[in-house]
Amino acid sequence: MAKIELSEAEYAEALETARKVAGPRLGDHDEVQLEDVAHEAIVRLLAQDPAPANWQAWLTRVAINLAMDVHRGDDKVVLADEFTKAQLDELKAFVSGQQIATSAAGMMEQAIATITAHLSDRDRKILIAASEGLPPAALAEQFGLASPAVASQTLHRIRKSTRAYLEAIEYERSHPRLY
């Protein structure tokens, strides 16, 4: 895990960048909202795991998206409470210690693990291969199934089982807006 660490100078630069790009998009909103958007963009940056390759560009995009959400009056933006540096460090330590994914890839990995928890290893591999676009003929060949028809039937059984499993655990299908 390579989380981002900002020096004081980088933090100040990040805050100024977020303010600069968010300000024009907020229109006639007040300074408090500008500060909220700028700080929320930085909180989201620090929570990324792994850290974005170009954190300045990532921060700019997030600040713009948050500002546009506020400007449109969307209630989708949930601004974090004000954190002290010690609280933020404690939160980062908790997230990394609990192996909680914060990146899109990490969240996808956790979702796949949850969705396929009830499947055997072979069935999970078949479902993942099919979701990646492998046709029944290729599935049959790769997994030693008798024919493409058997591969289709197996895939149907796996999907039906997965649907029942997700309904039984009341899996939440919605997800937060990713920036």
Q: Which of 40, 75, 97 lies at the terminal end of a domain, its last residue?
A: 97
CATH of the domain at 116: 1.10.10
pLDDT above 90 covers a percentage of the chain that reads 22
Q: Which of 70, 97, 124 lies at the terminal end of a domain, its last residue?
A: 97
Between 25-29, 39-43, 55-59, 174-178, the lowest mean confidence (pLDDT) is in 174-178
Angstrom distance (rounded) from CA 30 to CA 26: 8
Selected residue with higher pLDDT from 12 and 110: 12
Arithmetic mean of pLDDT over the chain: 80
Query: Is the pLDDT assigned to residue 29 strictly greater than 70?
Result: no
| Average pLDDT for 13-27 | 84
| Residue 176, domain member (yes or no) | no
CB-count exposure of residue 13 (10 Å: 0-12, 13-18, 19+): middle
| Residue 45, domain member (yes or no) | yes
What is the residue type of 170?
E
Residue 146 confidence (pLDDT):
92
Between 16-20, 35-39, 101-105, 154-158, the lowest mean confidence (pLDDT) is in 101-105
| Residue 1, domain member (yes or no) | no
Domain that holds residue 92: 8-97
CB-count exposure of residue 42 (10 Å: 0-12, 13-18, 19+): buried
Whether residue 112 sits in one domain with residue 80: no
Q: Where are the alpha helices (DSSP H) in 73-179?
A: 85-97, 104-115, 121-131, 136-143, 148-169
Q: Which residues contact 79 (CB under 8 A, 6 or more apart)?
A: 36, 37, 39, 40
pLDDT above 70 covers a percentage of the chain that reads 77
Angstrom distance (rounded) from CA 160 to CA 56: 44
What is the residue type of 120?
S
Whether residue 85 sits in one domain with residue 15: yes
Whether residue 122 sits in one domain with residue 71: no
What is the residue type of 104?
A
Please state the domain count of the chain: 2
Q: Which of 54, 81, 97 lies at the terminal end of a domain, its last residue?
A: 97
